[in-house]
Chain A
């Protein structure tokens, strides 16, 4: 595998043989399987895209982590009303560092170290150990009492573990700039995030087989009127909008969720066959509008920032380089 201009920071010209668009024109004498493997997994790309994804996601992870400040001992230590052997008994399927270390001060110290690790991961300094420790702390928090966490945190848990296993510090990082740890990254990294989003959306869409999503088309109405998480009481206005606006949107959301896997597959195939249209603006644009709408109307923890940050995985390295250049000019 050869790389053009693969400097320590991973230049804009880093290309992958057989790894998509950039690989065209290079004569590759290897077997079809090796070419396919490179195109899907082991081919290299400029690290800027993965670097930007790291910055976006870790910023949200850090914000979510910081929202626990003030309640760390109460949630995760011996100061909790459910502590010690009884906590282990209540959650026998989970692992947590805080089952073993439960002194309130020690738990708070580990949490503080977790915050520092998140910040190091965010700027990409000592990225690998910082990432692994960040994931360890988050997994320990959720494992210590999983009932404090909901579906949006589930995406956080999955993404933090997958991202910690990726070489996220090779681009747009202090490791690349100061420590000479830059360089290209394998193409599978961003694809794992694509796959996670595809499984999340499509599984959810397929599970929505009730009448409110299908014949009635009232699912969005009922979601928005719940006093558990609504920001505004707009019941009457929503009832008026139901037949003309909310019902079509309900069906559109369902179709979009089920179709997201198809979009991801088309996006991957497009790297080989450029005749497939680029549907990112359509699919991700709809996703952005939907999640921003949800965030405005109701409380959904960190779900909107988390999903929007994960959409950065769909930006190509050359697009990220352009963005970075534009940003650095300003």
Chain B
């Protein structure tokens, strides 16, 4: 019995670490050499939110920062700046952990790839229709987003007397109509849940 237990323990302690090593290293291996294996391993892990794509500040750190500025437009044509727009206005100084929320990370993803479709942005703006409709009596008709970008001045130009951040550059990013599907249904569900 003890011999069987030892053998099972040895098998477990051999196969488990080998499987873990494969999951850790596998997704980084080249697809060209191994076909679909690396991407299949990555998909399996992604299901449980383990992702082995490591590219912090790569290939380069960003040379500019972009904020997502968002406005709510109402039936009567009124336009109101939301908290995102205020952040885009004032977020050019310094920051500390206690001023950050996890939603800042979503906003960061939402503003990436401004010239391409971005599902992260789409779902963020849709969720803003819901957030704002629940927060006030009159729901917004549209959510309008723009990107607000400032470049970082290279060190040689800073030494030559230029300011550390370039001028503010604003560009329209996306508009979501809060009365179309699926936002309309999201809002109906949310209202039913919140009574």
User: Which of A20-28, A223-231, A269-277 lies on the face that meets chain B?
Assistant: A223-231
Report A222-253 CB contacts with B as 1/0, cut-off 8 Å. Answer: 11011111111101101110110010000000
Contact call B17/A191, Cβ cutoff below 8 A: yes
Report yes or no: B43 in contact with A200, Cβ–Cβ below 8 A.
no
B-chain residues with CB within 8 Å of residue A233 when the two chains form the complex:
93-94, 164
Q: Are B14 and A37 in contact (CB under 8 A)?
A: yes
- Say whether chain B's binding surface is mostly helix, strand, loop, or mixed: helix
Determine whether the beta carbon of B16 is less than 8 Å from that of A90. Answer: no
Nearest chain A CB to B88 CB, angstrom units: 11
Encode A146-161 as 1/0 by CB contact (under 8 A) with B.
1111110010011001
Q: Indicate whether A150 sits within 8 Å of B105 (C-beta atoms), given known contacts A207-B59, A233-B93, A299-B100.
A: yes
Query: Given the complex of chains A and B, what is the CA–CA distance between A162 and B85 in angstroms?
Result: 40
Stretch among B31-39, B74-82, B150-158 lining the A interface:
B150-158
Number of interface residues of A (CB under 8 A): 79
Q: A111 contacts which chain B residues (CB < 8 A)?
A: none
Of B54, B106, B190, which contacts A147 at CB under 8 A? B106
B41 within 8 A of A: no
**Residues on A facing B (Cβ under 8 Å):** 1, 37, 41-42, 68, 71, 75, 78-84, 86, 89-90, 93-95, 139, 142-143, 145-151, 154, 157-158, 161-162, 165, 186, 188-189, 191-192, 195-196, 199-201, 203-204, 207-213, 218-219, 221-223, 225-233, 235-236, 238-240, 242-243, 246, 299, 301
18 pairs of residues in contact across A and B, judged by CB atoms under 8 Å: A81-B190, A151-B54, A154-B51, A158-B52, A196-B24, A199-B25, A203-B54, A207-B58, A208-B59, A208-B60, A213-B60, A219-B57, A225-B164, A227-B94, A228-B65, A229-B95, A233-B93, A233-B94
Please list the residues of chain B having a beta carbon within 8 angstroms of any beta carbon in chain A: 6, 9-10, 13-14, 16-18, 20-21, 24-25, 28, 43, 46-63, 65, 91-97, 100-103, 105-106, 108-110, 119-120, 123-124, 126-128, 130-131, 134, 150, 152-156, 158-159, 164-165, 182, 185-186, 189-190, 193-194
